[in-house]
Homo-oligomer: A and B are copies of this chain.
Amino acid sequence: MKTSTNVSRRREESERTAAKGGRPRSEQLHQAILQAAVHLVLTSGFRSLSMDAIAAEAGVGRMTIYRRWPNKAAIIMAAFVMRVDPGTLFKPADNFIESIRLQMRTMAKAFRGRDGALIRVLLAEAQFDPELAKALREQWTLPRRKMAAEYFRSGIRDGILRADIDPEAMIDILYAPLYYRLQMGVGALSDAYVDEVFEHAMKGLLHGTK
């Protein structure tokens, strides 16, 4: 049976890790639960995900999960946060503009993969769960918006971007389309698409009458 297989898989791993004198057991359980939750979400979807299933997959009692997180969404959120690269958003490239395009491509690539699936789930669930919405905003959305805004402001200071640009609006115009495509099922999140959005936004939609 799948469950017991996974249980023993976790157990064996646990013993192995302990033998290596690794992290404390509590930390191992943490990881095992997050891993199990993500695995189940990616394979079976968030809706058919139950606390029981996570507990079984992780080889763990239900209380052990509830001791750490209040609900399924919080687990996925924790797993997602753990995966997010806390590093810099924009590579300090010699070409300011191209660096933006590259960052957008990186994000699109993430959205195409595992992170995209998690974001989709979290963003959707957040519509019903203010706690989660807050967490998502504070741990994902706002930090990245802040970094982007700062980067864009530096571009304004350096005279590369127009002075009358609002970084917040710029962020929305460039990145909202990625979220839109992630959720809407209207066309792919390809690099070509990213480029197109990027070019259009940069050049503007009107004739160069200014």
Chain A residues proximal to chain B, CB less than 8 Å:
45-47, 97, 120-121, 123-129, 133, 137, 141-142, 145, 159-162, 165-166, 168-170, 172-173, 175-177, 179-181, 183-187, 193, 196-197, 200-208, 210
Contact B46 A128, beta carbon cutoff 8 Å: yes
Sample of 29 A–B contacts (CB below 8 Å): A45-B128, A46-B128, A47-B128, A123-B124, A123-B183, A124-B126, A124-B128, A137-B184, A137-B185, A142-B186, A145-B186, A161-B205, A162-B203, A162-B208, A165-B205, A166-B200, A169-B193, A169-B200, A170-B205, A172-B176, A172-B181, A173-B173, A173-B177, A173-B197, A173-B205, A176-B180, A203-B204, A204-B205, A208-B210
Q: In the complex the two chains form, is B207's CB within 8 Å of A204's CB?
A: no
The complex is assembled from copies of this chain, and their number is: 4
User: How far does the Cβ of A71 sit from chain B's closest Cβ, in whole Å?
Assistant: 11
The residue that A186 contacts in the complex, of B137, B161, B193, B202, with Cβ under 8 A, is: B137
Determine how close the nearest CB of chain B comes to the CB of A207; give it in whole angstroms. 5
Most buried by B among A121, A129, A159, A183: A183
What DSSP secondary structure best describes chain A's contact surface?
Answer: helix
Q: Beyond A162-B205, A197-B173, A206-B202, is A185–B47 a contact (Cβ under 8 Å)?
A: no
The reply to whether A133 and B206 form a contact with Cβ atoms under 8 Å apart is no
In the assembled complex, the CB of A178 is this many whole angstroms from the nearest CB of chain B, namely 8
Closest to A163 in B: B207
Which chain B residues lie closer than 8 Å to A193 at the CB level? Answer: 169
* Chain B residues in 8 Å Cβ range of A46: 128
